[in-house]
Chain A
Amino acid sequence: MRMKHLVYPTQGLHEDDFKQGKVLTETWHVKAEYAWDTGVAIGRYLAELKNGRLVGRKCLKCNRVLVPPRMFCELCFRPTDEWAPVQDTGTIKTFSLCYVRWDMVRLKEPEIPIVLDLDGASRGIGIMHKLGEADPKSVRIGMRVQAVWKPADEREGSINDIRYFKPI
């Protein structure tokens, strides 16, 4: 049997059909709110962010310092052993220059998401954050960066207590 016969043509809509209001749009206001528990490891991580510090958890079996911290080592499948301070400096592992928002609105100046290895965490144990105070053209993998913290009285125990990382 020829494949053409096995494809149903379907009917497509065009952008203009939306502009001309030919498409039924129902707006549904989601009322759900979530009261998430932070858990043991991330709870401590966020609390330390409020203090202007970054912490990980160490597994003494595989000898890794894990960030974000967790109470178990997924590699050894056993409890992690101790809290380990990590520095607020690090190295960019990879980055992007993003010219669109999540809703696809265009940006003139790009947002610069990065994955960085924090000093004191194991190599390759990166976290995601954003880069600021940087010329987009100058960003490089391997670039050294440091956290720019909110003032102590504005911190609220959130990953955004670090505004962004900046080149050093």
Chain B
Amino acid sequence: MGMRRVAVVGAGMTRFVRRSLETGRELCWEAASKALESCELTIDQIDAVVAGTAPDAFDGVHMKSEWFSDGAGAWGKPFMRGYVGGGTGVFAPAQGWYHVASGLFDTCLVVCEEKMSPTQPHPQAAFNSIFDNFTERALGPNLLWIFALEMNAYMTRYGIKKEDIAQVAVKNKRNAADHPASLLGDRNITVQDILNSEVMAWPVQRLDVSPITDGAVAVVLAAEPVARRLTNKPVWVEGVGWALDTSYWTNRDLAYPTYVEEAARMAYKMAGITEPRKQINIAEPYDPFDYKELHHLEGLMLFPKGGAPQATSDGITQRTGDLPVCPSGGLLGVGNPIAAAGLMKIAELFWQLRGEAGARQVPGDPRRGVAQAWGDLMQVGTVVVMGK
């Protein structure tokens, strides 16, 4: 395609908390400055900034990315915000990638931030406007409805039990116990704890879903010659992909995420992946709900349709398994500051592939990972493949 190779050379993040005292700007600055520090760059050496954040309505601030852009280091620089709802955190580095791959910039700082906590009494109030204004919003919908409807469709199609799905929440919350930024790490949590938690919108129970979270994550992208000067451990962006399904979400097959498959095919083609299950060593799929990890693993073509629950039961997706999935702890464990959570997955692959993930390090010598996020009206898939 005539594109330059692009590497991730630095990453930083804030702790994910339920309600942070810091403003969005302050969170951005903390994450961005940590990312720069990690690759010993200063903001003057950054050519362009990409920011990602989900709905403006959480903060009650319109054009929120411009509002926090000073904290993201964008003052006086080419700046772009990408917004595909929950898919933003993996879309933003894809945008940063084409900024650098195109030859337009040598370095790009990607910053994703979310403060979900300001909306009172609950950020669901801010979410209701995603529904169609005439045919759906008038019914007084609850955001949980659409996920519960999807989870039920998935369970029913493949005869999956709640117990099978709860294992995902257990795995991720246990993994997160090793993450220094995590909100919900819990080494001792069990399937029974998940099944005993309060029913929100059956089949979704409280511990099936990630909580309201605040936080920020940043990564630094660099063109190959710059990357090689900065580090002897660059992690390459090998492929990016994104795809959108229809916003007539009730018209779709709710048991299979076609949008993820489309995005994955684009990213895999770019990365030269023909057999994902064999060629990918770590997966960080988007897991705001436990069933979504399973759904997305199937969309990423890492397991056959309806096959991800069994793979989870078999331990394949454990950190020590054949295909570690969300070794970070994911959104269910580290937390879910929406756009930041997606970029956290990119940061995790960066640390994992460099062997710098500490207690979370997957064994062996992982060479390639895939991160994925999902958003808008359950319709967008964003995928990034990274390798060393």
B-contact 0/1 string along A91-129, CB 8 Å cutoff: 001111111111110000011011100000000111111
| A141 proximity list for chain B (CB < 8 A) | 152-153, 156
B82 shortest CB reach to chain A, Å: 23
Is the beta-carbon distance between B135 and A7 smaller than 8 angstroms? no
Is there an interface contact between B251 and A160, defined as CB atoms closer than 8 Å? no
Cβ–Cβ < 8 Å partners of B251 in chain A = 66, 124-126
The reply on B103 being an interface residue by CB < 8 A is no
Q: Are B128 and A102 closer than 8 Å at their CB atoms?
A: yes
Contact B140 A127 (CB under 8 A): no
| Contact B356 A159, beta carbon cutoff 8 Å | no
CA distance A152 to B152 in the complex (A): 35
- A110's partner among B19, B134, B202, B214 (CB-CB below 8 A) is B202
* Interface core residue of A3, A13, A34, A102 (most chain B CB under 10 Å): A3
Contact of B149 among A13, A38, A94 (CB under 8 A): A94
A95 adjacent to B139 (CB under 8 Å): no
Report chain A residues within 8 Å CB of B254. 93-94, 115
User: In the complex the two chains form, is A74's CB within 8 Å of B250's CB?
Assistant: no
* Residues in chain B near residue A124, CB distance under 8 A: 251-253
Q: How many residues of B contact A (CB 8 A)?
A: 67
Whether B200 lies near A6 (C-beta < 8 A) is no
Instruction: Please tell me if the beta carbons of B124 and A159 are within 8 angstroms of each other in the complex.
Output: no
Q: Which of A102, A126, A160 has the most CB of B within 10 A?
A: A102
Query: Does A77 belong to the interface (CB within 8 Å)?
Result: no
Given contacts A42-B134, A141-B152, A141-B156, contact A7 B250 (CB under 8 A): no
* Beta-carbon nearest neighbor of B128 in chain A: A102
* Interface segment, one of B6-14, B84-92, B185-193, B302-310: B6-14
CB distance from A43 to the nearest CB of B (A): 9
Q: State which residues 2-44 of B face A: CB under 8 Å.
A: 11-15, 17-22, 27, 30-31, 34-35, 37-38
A7 CB contact (under 8 Å) in B14, B141, B214: B14
The B interface is mostly helix, strand or loop, or mixed, namely mixed
Residue of B at shortest CB range from A64?
B251
Judged by a CB distance under 8 angstroms, whether B136 is at the interface is yes
The answer to the question of A11 belonging to the interface, with a C-beta cut-off of 8 Å to chain B, is yes
The distance in angstroms between the C-alpha atoms of A107 and B200, with both chains bound, is: 10
Measured CB to CB, the closest approach of chain B to A143, in angstroms, equals 12
| Nearest chain A CB to B121 CB, angstrom units | 5
Nearest CB of A to B153, in Å: 4
Q: Is A19 an interface residue (CB 8 A)?
A: no
Known: A115-B250, A160-B138. Contact between A96 and B20, CB under 8 A? no
Task: Give, as a whole number of angstroms, the nearest-CB distance from B342 to chain A.
Answer: 17
Q: Which chain A residues border B199 with CB–CB below 8 Å? A: 97, 99
Chain A residue nearest to B16 (CB atoms) is: A10
* Identity of the chain A residue whose Cβ is nearest the Cβ of B40 in the assembled complex: A1
Q: How far is the CA of A111 from the CA of B140 in the complex (A)?
A: 10
> Does B363 sit within 8 A of A, measured CB to CB?
no
Contact status B180-A98, CB under 8 Å:
no
Taking a contact as CB atoms under 8 Å apart, the answer to whether A98 and B30 are in contact is no
Partner of A102, one of B27, B143, B214: B143
Contacting residues, chain A, for B142 (C-beta < 8 A): 98, 100-102, 111, 113
Please indicate the chain B residues that have their CB under 8 angstroms from the CB of A94 in the complex: 149-150, 152-153, 156, 254
Partner pick for B14 among A8, A46, A113, CB 8 A cutoff: A8
Q: B130 within 8 Å of A by Cβ?
A: no
The B-contacting residues of A in range 124-143, CB under 8 angstroms, are 124-130, 141
> Does residue B272 face the partner (Cβ distance < 8 Å to A)?
no
24 pairs from A and B in contact (CB 8 Å cutoff): A1-B356, A4-B180, A6-B12, A7-B13, A8-B13, A8-B34, A9-B15, A10-B15, A10-B17, A11-B17, A11-B21, A12-B20, A14-B19, A34-B133, A66-B251, A68-B135, A94-B149, A94-B153, A95-B152, A96-B204, A98-B202, A102-B143, A114-B149, A127-B250
Q: Residues on B close to A: CB < 8 A? A: 11-15, 17-22, 27, 30-31, 34-35, 37-38, 60, 117, 120-122, 124-125, 128, 132-136, 138-145, 148-150, 152-153, 156, 180-181, 198-204, 214-215, 246, 248, 250-254, 351, 356-358
4 closest residue pairs by CB, A with B: A96-B148, A12-B17, A8-B30, A98-B201
